[in-house]
Amino acid sequence: MFPKIISFKTPDFLSSFLPDHLSLNSYGFFIGLGIMAAYFIILYKTKHLGLTKDRLSELFLWGFLAAFVGGKLLFYLEDPTKYINNPILMLKNIGNGFVFYGSLLLVVPTIYFWLRYYKISFWPFMDGVAFGGPVLHSLGRVGCFLAGCCHGKICPDGIKNIVGVTFTDPSSAASITNIPIYPTQLFDIAINMLTLLVVYLVSKKQQFEGQLFLIYITLYGIGRVINENFRGDEDRGYLLGGMVTYSQFIAFVLILLSSIAWYFLQKKSKSTHA
């Protein structure tokens, strides 16, 4: 698609310490746009908790660092032998290749301990994340789509003209080019937007604190399990003899944990209001 939004020659006075050409990459641009959008959404949704712009900015900084480390670490762990045998690849891939669940698994505890330090309620804040998270993730997937990463398998002949997309740019991150493939990035956006709609509708009659975040994790997890079957980037890592991908396994675990948390939080809410 369009891995680079714009590219231009480096001015002469900067050429001594910068590359010959500078580029604004689609992936980084839309990730940045998603972070900004999520910041203002979460700020609005959690203003009743007393969070200031400065405090939330601090949390976002820690969250960004956790997301980077977690997403990058799980990306490397999907094919550890590849990077153990050639460590220089870790540096070459430092700016691309992240796994959403790797980021999530490190971001959530980071948020928890940060909120606990400032004595801010965890579950009400995470309900705000249930609004901002799908937006950030969707804009990130726009970047993925334009860059060509996280792409799908080759489409069967019967539907390639209906849903297939073709990556032709030689600088694309797609490992399958010039052949119609499933637009799994767009599928992921649809999953996030549907999840956001359900979160919004449930928020009108929310039963207990944390409910919206658990819905977000559960619905996205279900969608991710399905969408993984259409993914065509084979370096994602598999478990149980190739039966499930890393992301599918993590999704199953998070769905189970969300169900357990739902039971106890709902029970606690009922006892409190009894």
Residue 80: Cβ within 10 Å count: 10
pTM of the model: 0.89
CA of 259: how far to CAs of 193, 222, 252, 265, 266, in Å? 22, 13, 11, 10, 11
pLDDT of residue 250: 93
pLDDT of residue 140: 94
pLDDT of residue 98: 74
pLDDT of residue 13: 62
Range name among 159-163, 169-173, 267-271 with the lowest pLDDT average = 169-173
What distance separates the 2 farthest-apart alpha carbons in the chain?
Answer: 72
Q: 244-245 and 238-239: which strand pairing?
A: antiparallel
**Confidence category of residue 56, pLDDT binned at 50, 70, 90:** very high
Domain locations in the chain as residue ranges: 24-269
**Confidence category of residue 19, pLDDT binned at 50, 70, 90:** low
Mean pLDDT over 242-270 rounds to 93
- Token pair, residue 217, equals 């994790």
Range name among 29-43, 44-58, 66-80 with the lowest pLDDT average = 66-80
Is the confidence at residue 135, as pLDDT, over 70?
yes
Is the confidence at residue 22, as pLDDT, over 80?
no
Mean pLDDT over 142-163 rounds to 91
> Above pLDDT 70, what percent of the chain?
89
Mean pLDDT over 141-149 rounds to 93
Range name among 59-63, 91-95, 182-186, 190-194 with the lowest pLDDT average = 91-95
Range name among 2-16, 117-131, 203-217 with the lowest pLDDT average = 2-16
> Which of 3 and 16 is assigned the larger pLDDT?
3
Q: How many helices (H) and strands (E) does the chain have?
A: 10, 4
CA gyration radius for the chain? 20
pLDDT of residue 243: 86
pLDDT of residue 12: 65
For residue 130, count CB atoms less than 10 angstroms from its CB and return exposed for 0-12, middle for 13-18, buried for 19 or more: buried
- Contacts (Cβ under 8 Å, ≥6 apart) of 106: 66, 67, 69, 70, 73
